[in-house]
Amino acid sequence: MRSTSLFARPMVCAFCVVGFALALSLGCGTTTHDLKATFGTGFTPPALNAIDPNTVPVNSTPFVMTLNGHNFGRDAIVFWNNVPHMARFVSSTQLQVSVTADDLTIFGLVQVYVQTGGMTSNTVDFDVTAN
């Protein structure tokens, strides 16, 4: 005689009811589920919109630069011509970084970008102008 009790059935499919991804990988139910949508693991890269100031003369005094954008994390690092600088996290849309005298010894365009959450933002140019 066949048992119709829920406990007599394999427990793997019970996991599908509560939405565990592990059960999906074991073959229970359909395999067309988007795990990113189910568990919120999709990440959006940081975006750098503006920096302030965005220009100073060569050999200027050190200053604090504000970076505005989106998706910044507390682990954010600001890169100044590919040299990492520790960022001060203000919010997910704003960071601050200290620009040193050494950063301002050569005139020209400097590429500024942010890395956070293992992802890199777009670059924004900072202009160190000649005297």
What is the share, in percent, of the chain residues with pLDDT greater than 90?
A: 66
State the Cα–Cα distance between residues 42 and 34, nearest whole angstrom.
10
Q: Are 72 and 46 contacting, i.e. CB atoms less than 8 angstroms apart?
A: yes
The proportion of the chain whose per-residue pLDDT surpasses 70, expressed as a percent, equals 68
pLDDT tens per residue, range 20-50: 343 334 444 444 444 444 344 467 999 999 9
The token duo for 95 is: 């960071």
43-59 confidence digits (pLDDT tens): 799 999 999 999 999 99
pTM: 0.68
Among 107, 73, 108, smallest CA distance to 88 is for 73
Write down the mean pLDDT value for the chain: 80
Handedness of CA 70, 73, 74, 75 (dihedral sign): negative
Query: Contact at 8 Å (CB) between 53 and 36?
Result: no
Q: Where is pLDDT greater, at 65 or 19?
A: 65
Output the pLDDT for position 43: 76
- CB environment 33-67: b (16+ within 10 A), e (fewer): eeeeeeeeeeeeebebeebeeeebeeebeeeebeb
The CATH number of 47-129 is which of 2.40.37.10, 3.40.640.10, 2.40.30.10, 2.60.40.10? 2.60.40.10
Q: Is the pLDDT of residue 88 over 70?
A: yes
Instruction: Name the residue ranges covered by the structural domains of the chain.
Output: 6-39, 47-129
Residue 89: the pLDDT is 98
**Once rounded to an integer, what is the mean pLDDT over residues 61-83?**
97
